[in-house]
Amino acid sequence: IEDDVMFATNVNITDGFHGFTHIKEPYKYQELFRIQPITIGRGCWIGQNVVICPGVTIGTMTIVGANSVVTKSLPDRCIAVGSPARVVKVWDDRKEQWIPAENEV
């Protein structure tokens, strides 16, 4: 987690998942099968109830909206929302404002 990151309440950051391959053994005792680091860039704002999954990088100055589930990496200076999170706006340096992401036009 880089500098100046802001978190709302109830954010879940997890770097691993449990397997469930032994049906007679409780889930909590089963081995972790995927452990991957997470990077949250400088100046990000992570909204309430966000879940950040293993292996994700969230770019610098990115905003993740409330109740989003981040399953894939997000670029610098974007706004992402939803489950799974998708980029809906990007920062345009030339216009100095947020503009709709290409997939949102």
Alpha helices, DSSP H, located in 56-98: none
φ/ψ of residue 76, rounded to 5:
-65, 150
- Is the pLDDT at 105 greater than 70? The verdict is no
The pLDDT of residue 66 is 99
- Whether the full predicted model's pTM is greater than 0.75, yes or no, is yes
The pLDDT of residue 104 is 66
Look up 22 and say whether it is catalytic: no
Domains, the chain, ordered by start: 6-104 (2.160.10.10)
Q: Given the residues 6, 10, 18, 32, select the one marked as catalytic.
A: 18
Q: State how far the Cα of 45 lies from the Cα of 59, in Å rounded to an integer.
A: 11
- Is the pLDDT at 90 greater than 80? The verdict is yes
Contact 66, 47 (CB under 8 A): yes
Q: Which tens digit of pLDDT belongs to each residue from 56-87?
A: 999 999 999 999 999 999 999 999 999 999 99
Contact 21, 61 (CB under 8 A): no
